[in-house]
Chain A
Amino acid sequence: MQTVLTKVLWVVVLGAYAVSWLKAPQKAKRAAKAGLMGLAKAAPAMLSIVVIIGLVMAFVPPEWIARYLGRDAGLWATAAASIFGALTLIPCIVALPLAASIYREGASVATVAAFISTLTMVGVVTAPAEIKYMGKPLTIWRNVLSSLAAIAIAGVMAVVLR
């Protein structure tokens, strides 16, 4: 699924460049140059994210998380899931099956919802990259407010899906 979408993205972008080239080759060149420069500037920060994800996955294997968070269905587990989700960065392809197994192991809806929401919306690992592009105030506020929103989402989902 994800790889198909990536291919679609490549096709769309290459198609757009073909059109751009036909209409104004000079502009297409400038766009490509801007793209390359952006990529080069982003590379170090992006690469460090990849290494950190690798380290986290090695020291905190997903199976541990499932066992730990699935053990009880109380508020504690939900809080732990939120903190865990905020601190780590797990790609969706791993995170969603993981969420399902946490649920199967006995976690509550609130715990699973808090885990998915904080995992996606709050990113401590990606914060340096976010600061690089968006600045400190925007990054800090977005992450703080997203944490609160994630908890609220989990609360509502627990009530609705009970």
Chain B
Amino acid sequence: MKRIPKELRPIIIVAALFVVVMLLAPAQGRAAGAASLEYLKEMALILPPVFFLIGLLEVWVPRSMVEKYLGRKSGIAGFAISALLGSVAVGPMYAAFPFARTLLDKGTSLFNVVVFLTMWAAGKIPTVMMEAKFMGVEFALLRLGLTVVASVAIAWVMQRLIPSPQVPQQPSVIEDRASANG
């Protein structure tokens, strides 16, 4: 029997869980299916452009340029660019990880990658605008400001804790290209 590829394991486990739920609690199962379908639509619209953008980034943007603007010596400008990149983002957090990985591979400092991720998560402009509508402008702006401060704190501590980040090889698109050629 062939071993199940590692890549497919999460979806198989989750699918099995869904089947169990369907059998034991059909009503909840149906509700879960409907909700999943709704989010699947959102994901199907957002992930392709994100990955195609990553593709362009990998091919067109030289490492030297990323290093210069976002690397270890990019300073406050590098921080500002990273925070801005994260906050103008469209799409949920899970879309940010492949993007962050590409930035890291291209020579972005860990500090700036963490700032980017934190701002993507909690400081997205579209989300903050929606938050202002629901919770008030004061609430939304204060939380945005504090998120910027938090991103710096988190990034600073992480840079201290993990001086040379080791990332898993597998999902990098760059590696794919190398193996496709060889």
Contacts and interface: CB of A to CB of B under 8 A. Distances in A.
Contacts of B173: 34-35, 37-38, 41
Given A38-B55, A133-B97, 10 more contacts: A16-B53, A39-B48, A46-B43, A55-B32, A58-B21, A92-B130, A96-B127, A121-B118, A137-B161, A145-B153
A71 interface: no
A153 B147 contact: yes
B54 interface: yes
A100 interface: yes
Contacts of B48: 35, 39
Interface residues of A, number: 82
Contacts of A2: 42, 90, 126
14 contacts: A1-B129, A13-B53, A31-B58, A34-B174, A37-B180, A38-B55, A41-B170, A42-B47, A44-B10, A50-B39, A54-B33, A91-B92, A134-B100, A150-B150
A90 to B, nearest CB: 10
A128 B46 CA distance: 20
Interface in A8-54: 8-10, 12-13, 16-17, 20, 27-28, 30-39, 41-42, 44-54
Kindly list the 8 A-B residue pairs having the minimum CB-CB distance in the complex, ordered from nearest. Answer: A54-B36, A35-B55, A58-B32, A35-B52, A31-B55, A149-B150, A34-B55, A58-B31
Contacts of B23: none
Contacts of B110: 138
A6 B39 contact: no
B8 interface: yes
A42 B54 CA distance: 13
Contacts of A47: 11, 14, 40
Interface string B3-38: 000011111011101100100000011011111110
Interface of A: 1-3, 5-6, 8-10, 12-13, 16-17, 20, 27-28, 30-39, 41-42, 44-55, 57-59, 89, 91-93, 96-97, 99-100, 103, 109, 112-113, 116-117, 120-121, 123, 126, 128-135, 137-138, 141-142, 145-146, 149-150, 152-153, 156-157, 160-161
A11 B147 CA distance: 30
A153 B117 CA distance: 17
A36 B51 CA distance: 7
Contacts, number: 265
Interface in B75-125: 90-94, 97-98, 100-101, 104, 110, 114, 117-118, 121-122
B100 A133 contact: yes
Contact of A51 (B18, B53, B98, B166): B18
Nearest to A93: B130
Given A96-B127, A160-B142, A161-B139, A121 B122 contact: yes
A13 B54 CA distance: 10
A45 B10 contact: yes
